[in-house]
Amino acid sequence: MRILTAEQLSEADKISIKKQQISSEELMEKAASLVFKEIHNRLQTAQIPIKIFCGIGNNGGDGLVVARLLMEQAYSVEVFIVNYSDKRSEDFLSNFQKLKNLDRVRPVLINSETDFPEIKSGDFIIDAIFGIGLNRPAEGWVAKLIDRLNESGAFKLSIDMPSGLFSDKPTDPDSSIIHADFTLSFQTPKMSFFLPESMDYVGDFQILDIGLDKEYLAKLKPQAVLVSKGIAQSLYKPRRKNSHKGDYGHLLISGGSYGKMGSVNLTATAALRTGCGLCTLYIPRCGYEILQTNLPEAMVLTGDDQDFLSGYPEDFEPDGLCFGMGAGTSDKAKTALEDMLKRTKKPVLVDADGLNILSENKELLKLLPENSVLTPHPGELKRLIGQWTDDFEKLEKVKKFSQKYKIIVLVKGAYTFIVNREEVYINNSGNPGMATAGSGDVLSGVIASLMVQGYSPLSAAVLGVYQHGVSGDIAASEKGYEAIMASDIAANMGIAFLRLTESDEA
Ligand SMILES: NC(=O)C1=CN([C@@H]2O[C@H](COP(=O)(O)OP(=O)(O)OC[C@H]3O[C@@H](n4cnc5c(N)ncnc54)[C@H](O)[C@@H]3O)[C@@H](O)[C@H]2O)[C@@H](O)CC1
Ligand SMILES: Nc1ncnc2c1ncn2[C@@H]1O[C@H](COP(=O)(O)OP(=O)(O)O)[C@@H](O)[C@H]1O
Ligand SMILES: [K+]
């Protein structure tokens, strides 16, 4: 699914109306009917008090259509017009008239704080105040109304956008924004749904296909692409019957230090569970017995130092390299990274302390082979690219950084962003149970394993992040969020690949 801006979407509305020879009112009726169906499916005519707050633009128009359709099914509906301006949109006005014609309803105009209705925690609120037309933060009594709705404890369903939230630019966190429990959004998800600063306003969300012109939408340059199972399936390369371990690549994982050998174990386990043919670990001496005992499938080479990573194995030509987990940032580890980068022309994956070493020694960034993959979490990212003022600026900085060094950069989080120059992918699989020590180490193993199996670094990153999340979701369904350990994410990778190749009907 492609993420488009408010501007692109309103242009697409216009083009679709023209091409499909329908009126904008008909498009609104269609869009709002989809919202109504979702509500009706869930409520099944339950007589809970529904309070619909409508602005005076087209988002408000949607709310009016939903109100009418709910009333036709004998729901208990009260409609409030958030009358902040007299510049009502045409489609708002015609739907306002249609609603008044029902004569079972008297929409209440809210013109100031004194008109606010009482809102009880058992109410069901439909928020149709502002949609993608928001052009400044909510102010005055409208802001107070939003605050009041938030404080009410009532369930809040937002149409298209939580009111007060911008779709594709930063929103001032001190402004008033609906804290939706659920958002039903039209045609495509919006960028702010995925950014850590704004995702909490959206609640769970669902996208409703309102039938905008597919041909036109396909031509638009998206802000980002949401990674779906379909995309992951299109990247997947099935294993051939006529193949042997040499066909699936030899990965060298370099990391670890005294007390942190577990990270290498996790990365290597994940890499082997993701199908690389051979896996060699390059580690400090203290890890030799640990890893040879724990993971017989991996081969182990050690450097000269007992506790820290040092040097780089002589006469060794793996198909790909993964550096950094548990490595520490000692001078020896820095030299180990430098030696590795000087010896390889193939894209590498750098994670964890490898990233911290790059942050402290920026000259090493120039040694990264083209299309190398960096996998920072926000803390590591900050050290690499510097502070940002908001999530949109962060994304722009990451794009520039990716362009400058010709590399692929992940921004890990609840939604992981995969940035390849101007191109952005957003991953939607995974769950909060994965916020646990070592799950990033597992991710590195998964991506690096795919890289040595002949996937391009970008495909490996997109498919790897998606599969990592699916594997975490399988672990969550078996164990619950709290009990997930990083090793469970690695352990479920096989099932995640089985799921990937299953058709959805199955
Ligand atoms: N035919 C269409 O264009 C369709 C539009 N749809 C709905 O239309 C919405 C967009 O409608 P609009 O463009 O009318 O905009 P909105 O309804 O989102 O906002 C209403 C108007 O309020 C004004 N405004 C913005 N920020 C404000 C603020 N902080 N305080 C006071 N006034 C402010 C703006 O002038 C804006 O046009 C979408 O989110 C969606 O819900 C859907 O019905 C699908 C079809
Ligand atoms: N709330 C969440 N929802 C989905 N995925 C998450 C969540 N929290 C963390 N993750 C995933 O878990 C991994 C954590 O990586 P990282 O912070 O590097 O952990 P560690 O350093 O302990 O290995 C990332 O891939 C991230 O996307
Ligand atoms: K809204």
Same domain? 30 vs 157: yes
Q: What was the pLDDT predicted at 191? A: 98
Q: Look at residue 242 and tell me if it is in a domain.
A: no
For residue 506, what pLDDT is reported? Answer: 45
Query: CATH no. for residue 367?
Result: 3.40.1190.20
Domain range for 472: 231-236+249-501
CA distance 385 to 405: 12
Ligand 1 centre to CA of 90 (Å) is: 12
pLDDT band at 70 (very low <50, low <70, confident <90, very high): very high
Q: Is the CB of 416 under 6 A from ligand 2?
A: yes
Residue whose C-alpha is closest to residue 10's, from 170, 204, 188, 184 = 188
Asked if residue 69 lies in contact with residue 33, where contact means CB atoms within 8 angstroms, the answer is yes
From the CA of 467, which ligand is nearest?
2
Q: Is the CB of 413 under 6 A from ligand 2?
A: yes
Answer yes or no: do 115 and 155 share one domain. Answer: yes
Q: How many domains does the chain have?
A: 2
Do 141 and 93 fall into the same domain?
yes
Q: Is the pLDDT of residue 300 over 60?
A: yes
The answer as to whether 224 is a domain residue is: no
Measure the CA–CA gap between 408 and 419, rounded to whole angstroms. 6
398 and 483 co-located in one domain: yes
In this prediction, residue 103 has a pLDDT band, given cuts at 50, 70 and 90, of confident
For the stretch 196-217, pLDDT in tens is 999 999 999 999 999 999 999 9
Q: Are residues 318 and 452 in the same domain?
A: yes
Q: Was 127 annotated as part of a binding site?
A: yes
Considering the domain boundaries, does residue 34 fall inside one?
yes
Is residue 89 domain-shared with residue 176, that is, in the same domain?
yes
Confirm or deny that 377 is annotated as ligand binding: yes
For residue 234, the SS3 value is helix
Query: What confidence category does residue 260 fall into, taking pLDDT thresholds of 50, 70 and 90?
Result: very high
Question: Does residue 254 share a domain with residue 214?
Answer: no
Is 225 among the domain residues?
A: no
Would 226 be classed as within a structural domain? no
Tell me the C-alpha distance between 482 and 461, whole Å.
26
Q: Give dist(CA 300, CA 255) in Å, integer.
A: 12
211 domain residue, yes or no: yes
Calculate how far, in angstroms, residue 162's C-alpha sits from the geometric centre of ligand 3.
Answer: 5
Percent of the chain whose pLDDT exceeds 90? 96
Please work out whether the CB of residue 438 comes within 6 Å of at least one atom of ligand 2.
yes
Provide the token pair at 497. Answer: 């690949």
Print the SS3 string covering 358-403.
HHHCHHHHHHCCCCCEECCCHHHHHHHHCCCCCHHHHHHHHHHHHH
Q: Nearest bound ligand to CA 446?
A: 2
Could you give the CA distance from residue 247 to residue 444 in angstroms, rounded to a whole number?
A: 21
Helix then strand count (H, E) for the chain reads 18, 18
- Give SS3 for 329: coil
Which ligand ends up closest to the CA of 183?
A: 3
The model carries a pTM of 0.95
Using the atom order of ligand 1, give the atom closest to the CA of residue 25: 1
The verdict on whether residue 440 carries a ligand-binding annotation is yes
Ligand 2, atom nearest to 437 Cα = 22
Compute the 3-state secondary structure of the chain and give helix, strand, coil in percent, each to the nearest 5: 45, 15, 40
Residue 104: per-residue pLDDT: 79
Ligand 2 contact, 196 CB (< 6 A): no
Cβ–Cβ under 8 Å, residues 89 and 56: yes
Judge if 189 and 74 occupy the same domain.
Answer: yes
Tell me the mean pLDDT in the region 150-165: 98
- Quote the tokens at residue 55: 């602005």
Beta bridge partners of 348: 321
- CATH value at residue 61: 3.40.50.10260
d(CA 400, CA 46): 52
pLDDT digits (tens, 9 = 90+) for 441-476: 999 999 999 999 999 999 999 999 999 999 999 999
Please give the average per-residue pLDDT across 2-15, as a whole number.
96
E strand or H helix at 160, and its extent? none
* 457 inside domain: yes
Same domain, 213 and 326: no
The reply to whether 190 and 319 lie within a common domain is: no
Cβ-contact 124, 49 below 8 angstroms: yes
Is 208 inside a domain boundary? yes
